[in-house]
Every structure is written in C-alpha cells, then in structure tokens.
C-alpha cells in the first residue's frame, strides 16, 4: 500500500487487517497522531517529480496508491499556473510511472483524489463557473484525471479510479472546525453544497483500494455512502 492520505487513527487505517504495510510518501516525515505501528513507514521525497532508486524500491509489490498530490485552489493563489500544472499533472504522472516501473502487484489500484465538479472537457462550460475558475479546475484536476485514466488504459495490470469529494470537513484547525459545524448544521436540511468528513472520505478510499473499485468516478455521495458503511463495519 503506497502513498496514503488519511485520518488514520479515526478511520482505523492501521487496524484494517488486509492492510499490511503503509508507505506514507511526503516532503516531511509523517506521523500518525500518537500511533506507532510497524505497518507505517514514512518515506521522504524532496520533489514529487523525481523518484530516486531507493524511493522507487519502496513501491515494489505495492497493491494500491491513494494519490493526493495537488496544489488546491485555496493554496494556488499566488502560485504560477505553470507550477500548479507541474505539481498537479507532471508530478502525479511521474509518481504513477515510478510505481509502475517499481513492479507493483497485479492488479495495482491507483486511486486519484480529484474534486466534485471537475470538468474533463473544456468545451462543456458549466454556467456557475467563470472562464478563469473553469480553466484552473481543468488544469488542477480535469487534465490530470484524463492523464491517469489514459495511463491505466495503456498499461497492463493497472486499475485506475477517480474520487471526487466536495469540501472535506475536519477539526484540524479552528476554522475547519467552525466550517465543519456549519456544514453539519446545513446537512440536516440539505447537501446542496457537497461535503464529506475526513473520516468518511478516508474510510471510503481505503475500502475501495482494499476491495476494488465499485465504479468511477466516485462522487461525493458515493464517498459518503461507502465511508459510512466502512466505518460501521470497523
Ligand atoms: N481539502 C478539501 O476540502 C478538498 C476538497 C475536494 C478535493 N480535494 C482534493 O483532495 C486532494 C488533497 O487535498 P488536501 O486538502 O489534503 O491538499 P494539501 O494538503 O494542500 O496537499 C495535498 C498534497 O499535495 C502536496 N503539495 C501541496 N502543495 C505542494 C507544492 N507546492 N509542492 C509540492 N507538493 C505540494 C502535499 O505534499 P506534502 O505532503 O509533501 O506536503 C500533499 O501531499 C487534492 O487533490 C485536493 O484538490 C480537497
């Protein structure tokens, strides 16, 4: 199991018996709250575009990858579009290639984290998105979705799926807690603004890489349904 983004303690990642090993690939050491587990290995990479041989070796025999590398819209302000494109597209594909070249298990499940409302085709312009937002969203996730899906089609033994959550709620910071409370209140009446909790999302993603992809793309509603069901089973 490679490259996992999770609320690991809350969704019981390290307690899932089918998961025997987690490689957490990041630019800084990854610690999972207070948990110490021999299953978890933090692997550092300085640039997601380049994979040294020792890092590649960690991917050998992996069953799945949950890929979350992206400059999110919130963080992309002030970042040059070429750099956003490099991180979102070039780095994602470089990581995928490095994993494939390292000799993963077959089938190797690659789950790419995108976002609800992502356009895959710039000719279909949704009314609620301006030209600029539409183009950003296409560069951020739409083109990357097309690239990872194409790579999966072109290479044997790979299954690719795209997950498209709405806003991911959590209690990581004061503002996120306040946001989560607001969504929690609004969700009692409507889910008009798609959102999913970090725990539900993590549980849904893990369920899908362990048991196989149910469908693609996984919408926010699919992720809530799968996540709730996986959390109940823990
Ligand atoms: N947060 C939300 O509400 C939300 C909603 C819908 C979809 N999503 C999608 O879910 C995925 C994960 O979101 P997130 O909120 O967890 O994002 P995040 O923490 O801002 O970043 C996700 C990953 O991208 C890497 N990254 C970010 N900026 C980078 C940079 N300038 N250079 C190199 N690497 C960089 C980070 O690497 P390091 O770990 O090494 O720092 C991290 O692993 C993204 O694809 C996002 O679009 C998020």
* Separation between Cα atoms, residue 105 and residue 97, nearest integer Å: 14
Decide if pLDDT at 122 tops 50: yes
* Separation between Cα atoms, residue 55 and residue 27, nearest integer Å: 12
Q: Is residue 151 within a helix (H) or strand (E), and if so which, with residue range?
A: helix 143-154
Give, using CA atoms, the residue closest to atom 42 of ligand 1.
Answer: 69
Q: How far is the CA of 216 from the centre of ligand 1 (A)?
A: 21
Q: What was the pLDDT predicted at 126?
A: 62
Decide if pLDDT at 6 tops 50: no
* Separation between Cα atoms, residue 114 and residue 168, nearest integer Å: 12
Query: What is the maximum alpha-carbon separation in the chain?
Result: 52
* Separation between Cα atoms, residue 24 and residue 205, nearest integer Å: 15
pLDDT (average), residues 183-189: 94
**pLDDT tens sequence across 133-169:** 777 788 788 999 999 999 999 999 999 999 999 999 9
pLDDT (average), residues 60-82: 89
Q: What is the pTM of this model?
A: 0.93
Q: What was the pLDDT predicted at 128?
A: 62
pLDDT (average), residues 184-190: 94
Q: How far is the CA of 113 from the centre of ligand 1 (A)?
A: 9
**pLDDT tens sequence across 35-62:** 678 889 999 999 999 999 999 999 999 9
Domains of the chain: 8-165 (3.40.50.720)
Beta-bridged to residue 2, according to DSSP, are 23, 65
Dihedral sign (CA 232, 163, 98, 134): negative
For 131-144, the DSSP string reads HHHHHHHIIIIIHH
| Lining residues, ligand 1, CB within 6 Å | 5, 26-27, 48, 68-72, 75, 87, 113, 115, 165, 167-168
pLDDT (average), residues 92-100: 97
Mutation to probe ligand 1, out of 70, 113, 205 (largest number of atoms < 8 A from CB): 70
Q: What was the pLDDT predicted at 130?
A: 61
Band (2; pLDDT cuts 50, 70, 90): very low
Tokens 């025999």 belong to 61
pLDDT (average), residues 61-71: 94
Tokens 């196989």 belong to 212
């Amino acid at each position: 199991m490679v490259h996992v983004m999770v609320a690991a303690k809350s969704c019981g990642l390290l307690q899932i018996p089918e998961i025997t090993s987690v490689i957490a690939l990041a630019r800084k050491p990854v610690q999972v709250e207070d948990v110490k587990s021999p299953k978890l290995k933090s692997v550092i990479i300085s640039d997601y575009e380049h994979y040294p041989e020792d890092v590649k070796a960690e991917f050998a025999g992996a069953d799945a990858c949950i890929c979350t590398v992206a400059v999110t819209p919130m963080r992309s302000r002030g970042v040059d579009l070429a750099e956003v494109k490099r991180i979102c597209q070039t780095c994602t594909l470089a990581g995928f290639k490095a994993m494939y070249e390292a000799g993963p298990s077959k089938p190797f499940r690659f789950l790419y984290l995108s976002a609800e409302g992502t356009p895959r085709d710039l000719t279909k312009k949704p009314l609620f998105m301006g030209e600029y937002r539409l183009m950003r969203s296409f560069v951020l996730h739409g083109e990357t979705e097309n690239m990872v899906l194409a790579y999966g089609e072109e290479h044997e033994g790979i299954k690719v799926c795209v997950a498209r959550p709405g806003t991911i709620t959590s209690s990581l910071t004061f503002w996120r807690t306040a946001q989560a409370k607001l969504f929690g209140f609004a969700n009692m009446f409507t889910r008009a603004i798609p959102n999913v909790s970090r725990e539900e999302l993590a549980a849904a993603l893990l369920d899908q890489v362990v048991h196989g992809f149910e469908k693609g793309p996984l919408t926010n509603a699919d992720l809530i349904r799968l996540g709730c069901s996986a959390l109940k089973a823990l």
